[in-house]
Structure 1
Amino acid sequence: MRLLNILLLLAITNLYAQNSIKGNIIDTNTGEGLAFVNIYFTGLEKGTSTNENGDFLIDNLPSGNYNMLVSFIGYKTKSINVTIPNSENLSIRLEPSAIEMEGIIISTPFHKLQSENVMKVEQVSVKDLNAKGALNLSEGITNIAGVESVTTGLSIGKPVIRGLSSNRVLVYTQGVRLENQQFGGEHGLGLNSSGVESVEVIKGPASLLYGSDALGGVLYLNPEKFAKNNSATGDFSGNYFSNTQGYSTNAGFKSSNNHFKFLFRGNLAEHSDYKTKNYKVTNTRFREQDFKAGVGYQKNTFKTDFRYNVNNSKLGIPEEIGEQSTNRTPLFPYQNITNHIFSLKSTLFFDNSKLDFNLGYIYNDRKEFEEHHHEDEDHENEEHEDEENLEAALHMKLKTANYDVKYTLPKLGKFETIVGVQGMNQTNTNYGEEELIPDATTNDIGVLATSHIHFENIDVQLGARFDNRNIDTATNLNKDFNSFNGALGFKTNIANNITARLNLASGFRAPNLAELTSDGAHEGTNRYEIGNPDLDTEQNFQSDLALEFKNEHVEFYVNGFYNSINNYIFLSPNGNTINGNPIYNYLQNDANLYGGEIGLHIHPHPIDWLHIESSFETVTGKQDNDTYLPLIPANSLSNTLRVEFKRSWIHSGYAFIKLKSTFKQNNASLFETATNGYNLLSAGLGGNFKIFKKEATVTVSGTNLTDKTYINHLSRLKPDGINNMGRNINIGIKYQL
């Protein structure tokens, strides 16, 4: 609290002069001013657009050195270092380019364009994921190369990055780490894509930036931006999904003036059981309600952004093929989960330096209901809307407070440096009859330093970090885990239009409560799990090499990685049973994962409207005893043909057809079955129209158009031979108010 009081005092007493910057954006070839070009200061999170003559003005800027991005569709994004105050009238030239406009990478500390970033980060907009017919966020992220999802039906999914998942992948939302009992195989994200602008994926250990649980990578969700200064906008949208006869509705409004900003967005989605070619998969139905709100303030040397998100999901847990209906109310067993996420992201600007502090609080209320806890004997297909009369078999409340404070030092020659401290206090409390994990308190603290060094022909990023995690349980288990980690990366242009990135990094993961303390039957997995209090910290080291070629006609990349993990934790049956459930113990062994991604994007000039895209991804995971790791995605190849068009009655029009080929997965663990290969065909089209002088976006897409029967290797319904979803047609419309 003392630190917070000092920071707030600084925010009030810093009285720097207000500054402004103005300029003009022109086309390099024609010399004409460009209208509606985006100008954005990455560190200040403040921007504007040019007028019809290409002129712009931004005021209320603090003194210092800042990165300014200038971006416009059809032109190469430009990154400029600007010193404020600046009395010049900037004249900026943009070069026409068929290469798609770059976004700002938020998940890495220096907020660079990907072309300037030392670490390879994948970024994709949620708008593009939805245009491909994604039914929810968990399904949408599987369109990113190197990313898959472990699923239980449609509603429960968790990210897999290069073969690692669960507590080995960290999820960030609203700038804070998400904690929602992610140790459980049937515990999904608990997040909705509504109000999320883009998704970034760091593949590989990111413990330097994020601490424990970032051993396998990070899924970073960027919330939607506030409205531009002195503007207001609203929208509503609706989507229909033929396979589940489901819908998703969304409405939002945001407004900003020079200092204050606010926004809110609500979403409601309901789906019945998904359908395969031959049957409906009973109890994959679900209902989700989501509300997001934000308030921002910025003046002179201080800016702050407060966000709140509440998400309530009622999710059916499928067990076998039974009732065939289009009901949307889940049967037993089902989950009722409420997630509250509060975040406060603030920055104090000084001359040539800044202090960022992010505070978060996550309250996860998880209830699971089973059939035998219902009083009525004849209730197999009964809808249970009055939950007050039901007793949750499992009821856990997880409360997490976390903080992240970083200071960006004044730039010293070629060095940009950030130092910081991060931490977390977490309590888990049981209220139900069953107990998966005991009541416990977890405390984290980590200190870090990282630098970006700009040499003439090469960029270098390096850093180091120390972490401590303490776990104290009601069963008298008290454990301390310590880890020291580092990272070193290089980026250079090895030839004309060819960029090379080499990153070396270590990461760690402390054992979670389930792995340390489990002692009971897990109904969803039909096994009796016994924890191991003597487990050590997982520690890994990964080398990652990325090569990228890019010109006006072709983009090509190849990424390769090798990931060595010491003390990899896994479940193994011991051959005994308790009450008919096989007993599984948590054990450790060293493991290795290796593979990569290859991609090609052809956009021949001058027919820039044509895009031919292809990507291949592969990963292999083995223990040191040469047995394969579980839940490793099968190799896959995606080919997409996409066209873009514009007419007098439509703009930003597009159409695509995609074939994703997933190969056989014969490299199964000892407790898995192999999976056959399959091909999935999808297609879609859409564009923006003027309706009543307002802009409307209409999209139509179809997935699994041939109604293929298949089972994904990462489906938790695979052991029961239950197929994944069949043909689905999605129709969506969004209207700007």
Structure 2
Amino acid sequence: MKKLFVILFIGFNLYSYGQNKISGTILNTKNEPLIGVEVYIEKLKKGTSTNELGYFELKNVPNATLKVTAHYIGYKTQVKTVSFTKPDIELNFLLKEMAYQMDEVVISTPFNKLQSENAIKVVSLKLNEIENGGSTNLTEAISSIPGIDMIAKGTGVAKPVIRGLSGTNVLMLNNGIKMENFQFSENHPFIVDEFGVDHIEVIKGPASLLYGSDAVGGVINVIRERPALENEITGDFNTQYHSNTDGITLNAGVKGNSNQINWGIRTGYKSHADYEDGNGNYIPNTRFQEKSLKANIGLRKSFGIFNLYYDFNRPQLGMSVGNVKTLEKSRNLDFWYQDLTSHLISSRNTLFFNDYKFDVNLSYQLNNRKLQTDNNTPAFEMVDMDLNTFAYEVKTHFPSTEKTEYIIGLQGSNKTNRNNEAPNHVIPDTDVNDISVFGLLQHSFAEKLKTQVGLRYDYRIISSEKETNKPAIDNDYGNISGSIGATYPLTDDFLVRANLASAYRTPNIAELTQNGYHGARFEIGNPDLDTQRSYEGDLSFHYHSKYIMLDVSGFYNRINDYIYIAPTGENLDNGDIIYQYSQTDSKLYGGELIVNITPIEWLNINTTYSYLIGKEDSGNYLPYIPHNKFRFDVKLQKEKIGLLHSPYFKIGGLLAQDQDNPSIYETETDGYFLINAGVGTELKIGKEMVNISIQANNILNETYIDHLSTLKGMNYNNIGRNIVATIKIPISVK
């Protein structure tokens, strides 16, 4: 393999292309130059900005067909495609004013189109929204998106829910890499944080066509921060304090970019004590802490782009379970906590060959999960498991025309779970092998109607060793996923999007084999589980004008053989309830509404509503279906007031309706109403713009329990008032 790589590397160097240049000017509709417009080529991870004349220049560009994006706050984003017929290309932009930034370039779809050109709707959450939202973890920040919720065990352990589906129905990507870290349980969070993130993209609904089995509910893609602009070295230092948990968050990073090489490094730290509810009672053992390190290096050559990334995360998460009684609020982790370690090494590369592009991506994940329990309780023993995953992906982008683009790809992975010396094996030693092929076509009819169709075949082999209380598994699964969708602008301001998709999910090893205590619950797997199949239709309408934006989405998701865990009605000798995995035909349906109004330049009013019903064919309701929720925010922001740059004040609220449709294994949950507020600004200190903000969540200190809280059974309330102070200091080194 090493020799082959060297031969290919030398071969591509011998077949090198001339270096090209793209330059031009960017003006507004009054023919005035725009200063500081970001000009970026996503495929190359390469960008610059315009000078005082609106001029930009990108050198050392490979001889390939590329998409160049011009982005400027307050203006509509534009994307232009360039193909080199000569070494120097002049590319000019005329940007139109636009209050709403809905038309960003989407990274999570293969063609990197603007949002308005995608048949699959993708919702984006930007870094400043995450930083200024006052969340204690990344999943909590994502749950501000309509249709997204979280199953949480306090403030440290949280799993995303997309339109009622969670666990291995939802895929989490870290910079395009599928996360593999024992995500089969609501108590096992995805090991990824918000440090060094540019933005997050969410696909709601079946996305198995793009990412394979386990994406029947949707995909959350955490997009890494962009490299520094050419010939720059920049850095930043960020700190945050949470009043409720005495929480401290720190992260700092530096990155640089020359003509051919870009690099970056970032480190982070979190530490939170037990949180307090609205009554002032602390919730025992909800403390947590985390350390992280990220590094990357990239090389741009005329024949290709090569990037190497490393991510390290070490979260230690307190587990609030019924038999844990701590005497005082603390951040010390002594017992009943998860000790998790994650290493992710990935190589993401693009090779150019005339009008063809080849994406060649490799990754290796090393995950260790330990559970330190109460040693005085013989029924529970420490857990110590390793999960190692090697994954590969090759995608071929064929020569495209103005109307047609198409891709074929090959993906695969090998996962090995091994138990170490700890006696408690939650799941047995297991090997999982995946391989898949797929194709995707996007075509425009009559310029306006953009269609997308794709087909995928996946094959999976699961094999595990027999244990005293667990059967051996030797199963193989093969199935097809497909989707077809279209977008059509009825007018320049009114867009219609529709999509039909069918995806499937194989049962995971925990669902097939478990037979014993998992955390504080006794769980039994089912080796006879069938493949779960989803059929979903989505329809959305988007309208925007100078003063208003309206977005309405509806969906219906039919799931055959839906896999879930529920009480059996039987008990162990000690009285503990026995839970077992089962299947049933089910359906989930609902939608989301977004209304954004800007009646005057400095005032913005945003409201959202999400509605969801999940039912079995028998008429019973499904478990873990969130409250229907209404959110509103009113934000006042000026460009400048005295020494304050972009100062803002916002106030908003969350109204969760009564969840009076519980499953037969749940109880009803009362609704609740939370009020939040925030203030922030930028201050120019020297040459840098320092960002300062204060966010107050649950200002009225409401006492409530969310329906998806796994602490509900112990009558532990959710977090009370939390005031979060954030300071972000940028540093320009060169």
What's the TM-score once normalised by structure 2's chain length? 0.95
Aligned length: 717
Check if 1:734 corresponds to 2:728: yes
Identity %: 39
Structure 2 counterpart of 1:337: 340
User: Which residue of 299, 302, 306 maps to 2:304?
Assistant: 302
How many Å separate the matches in 2 of 1:673 and 1:191? 32
Question: How does 1:346-365 map onto structure 2 within 5 Å?
Answer: 346-365=349-368
8 Å Cα contact 1:64-1:85 kept in structure 2: no
Q: Give the CA deviation at 1:98.
A: 1.9
Structure 1 counterpart of 2:469: none
How many Å separate the matches in 2 of 1:557 and 1:154? 31
Q: Which runs of 5+ in 1 are unaligned?
A: 376-390
Structure 2 counterpart of 1:385: none
Q: Give the CA deviation at 1:655.
A: 1.7
Question: How does 1:245-394 map onto structure 2 within 5 Å?
Answer: 245-278=246-279, 279-320=281-322, 322-323=325-326, 325-372=328-375, 393-394=382-383
Q: Give the CA deviation at 1:496.
A: 4.7
Structure 2 counterpart of 1:547: 541
Structure 2 counterpart of 1:71: 71
Flag the 1:285–1:312 CA change in 2: closer, same or farther, 3 A.
same
Flag the 1:677–1:6 CA change in 2: closer, same or farther, 3 A.
farther
Flag the 1:56–1:670 CA change in 2: closer, same or farther, 3 A.
same
How many Å separate the matches in 1 of 2:231 and 2:592? 44
Q: Give the CA deviation at 1:35.
A: 1.2
Amino acid at match of 2:622: L
Amino acid at match of 1:127: N
Question: How does 1:668-687 map onto structure 2 within 5 Å?
Answer: 668-687=662-681
Local SS of the residue matching 1:372: coil
Amino acid at match of 1:468: Y
Check if 1:472 corresponds to 2:466: no
How many Å separate the matches in 1 of 2:188 and 2:24? 51
How many Å separate the matches in 1 of 2:730 and 2:131? 17
Local SS of the residue matching 1:181: coil
Q: Give the CA deviation at 1:99.
A: 2.1
User: Which residue of 394, 405, 408 maps to 1:419?
Assistant: 408
How many Å separate the matches in 2 of 1:436 and 1:732? 40
Flag the 1:413–1:614 CA change in 2: closer, same or farther, 3 A.
closer
Q: Give the CA deviation at 1:45.
A: 2.4
How many Å separate the matches in 1 of 2:568 and 2:605? 51
Structure 2 counterpart of 1:386: none
How many Å separate the matches in 1 of 2:710 and 2:353? 52
User: Which residue of 573, 578, 581 maps to 1:583?
Assistant: 578
Check if 1:82 corresponds to 2:82: yes
How many Å separate the matches in 2 of 1:115 and 1:3? 42
Check if 1:609 corresponds to 2:602: yes
8 Å Cα contact 2:136-2:156 kept in structure 1: no
Deviates most, 127-136 or 286-295: 127-136
Flag the 1:288–1:33 CA change in 2: closer, same or farther, 3 A.
same
Local SS of the residue matching 2:129: helix
How many Å separate the matches in 2 of 1:441 and 1:372? 31
Structure 1 counterpart of 2:38: 38
1:164-199: CA deviation from partner (whole Å, max 9, x where unpaired): 000000010022100000002210122111111111
Check if 1:138 corresponds to 2:139: yes
Structure 1 counterpart of 2:620: 627
What's the TM-score once normalised by structure 1's chain length? 0.95
CA RMSD, aligned part only? 1.7
Structure 1 counterpart of 2:194: 193
How many Å separate the matches in 1 of 2:215 and 2:9? 31
Q: Give the CA deviation at 1:10.
A: 4.7
1:592-637: CA deviation from partner (whole Å, max 9, x where unpaired): 0000101100112xx2221110000011111111111100111000
8 Å Cα contact 1:539-1:567 kept in structure 2: yes
Flag the 1:509–1:549 CA change in 2: closer, same or farther, 3 A.
same
1:341-374: CA deviation from partner (whole Å, max 9, x where unpaired): 1111000012222000111111110000111169
Local SS of the residue matching 1:12: helix
How many Å separate the matches in 2 of 1:599 and 1:27? 29
Amino acid at match of 2:282: K
Check if 1:692 corresponds to 2:694: no
Flag the 1:412–1:81 CA change in 2: closer, same or farther, 3 A.
closer
Local SS of the residue matching 2:624: coil
How many Å separate the matches in 1 of 2:636 and 2:430? 54
Check if 1:488 corresponds to 2:484: yes
Q: Give the CA deviation at 1:413.
A: 6.1
Local SS of the residue matching 1:201: strand
Flag the 1:337–1:373 CA change in 2: closer, same or farther, 3 A.
farther
Q: Give the CA deviation at 1:36.
A: 0.8
Structure 2 counterpart of 1:448: 438
Amino acid at match of 2:529: L
How many Å separate the matches in 2 of 1:400 and 1:306? 17
1:508-540: CA deviation from partner (whole Å, max 9, x where unpaired): 11100111111112233x2x2221111111011
8 Å Cα contact 1:76-1:97 kept in structure 2: yes
1:367-411: CA deviation from partner (whole Å, max 9, x where unpaired): 001111699xxxxxxxxxxxxxxx971011000111111000011
Local SS of the residue matching 2:128: helix
How many Å separate the matches in 1 of 2:270 and 2:22? 44
How many Å separate the matches in 2 of 1:582 and 1:326? 30
How many Å separate the matches in 2 of 1:286 and 1:16? 52
How many Å separate the matches in 1 of 2:363 and 2:302? 25
8 Å Cα contact 1:175-1:343 kept in structure 2: no
1:545-586: CA deviation from partner (whole Å, max 9, x where unpaired): 010001111100100000001111122333333342322222
8 Å Cα contact 1:481-1:510 kept in structure 2: yes
Structure 2 counterpart of 1:113: 114
How many Å separate the matches in 2 of 1:392 and 1:264? 38
Structure 2 counterpart of 1:153: 154
Structure 2 counterpart of 1:459: 450
1:248-274: CA deviation from partner (whole Å, max 9, x where unpaired): 011111111011111011111101000
Q: Give the CA deviation at 1:719.
A: 1.0
Structure 1 counterpart of 2:170: 169
How many Å separate the matches in 1 of 2:413 and 2:170? 17
Q: Give the CA deviation at 1:102.
A: 4.0
Amino acid at match of 2:52: E
1:326-355: CA deviation from partner (whole Å, max 9, x where unpaired): 421124211110111111100001222200
Check if 1:60 corresponds to 2:60: yes
8 Å Cα contact 1:156-1:189 kept in structure 2: no
Local SS of the residue matching 2:143: helix
Amino acid at match of 2:507: P
Check if 1:663 corresponds to 2:653: no
Amino acid at match of 2:407: I
Structure 2 counterpart of 1:618: 611
Flag the 1:421–1:714 CA change in 2: closer, same or farther, 3 A.
same
Structure 2 counterpart of 1:600: 595
Local SS of the residue matching 1:515: helix
8 Å Cα contact 2:284-2:329 kept in structure 1: no
8 Å Cα contact 2:153-2:711 kept in structure 1: yes
Local SS of the residue matching 2:234: strand
8 Å Cα contact 1:73-1:101 kept in structure 2: no
Deviates most, 706-715 or 185-194: 185-194
Q: Give the CA deviation at 1:84.
A: 2.0
Structure 2 counterpart of 1:384: none
Local SS of the residue matching 2:91: strand
How many Å separate the matches in 2 of 1:374 and 1:235? 47
Check if 1:505 corresponds to 2:496: no
Amino acid at match of 2:405: E
How many Å separate the matches in 1 of 2:11 and 2:340? 40
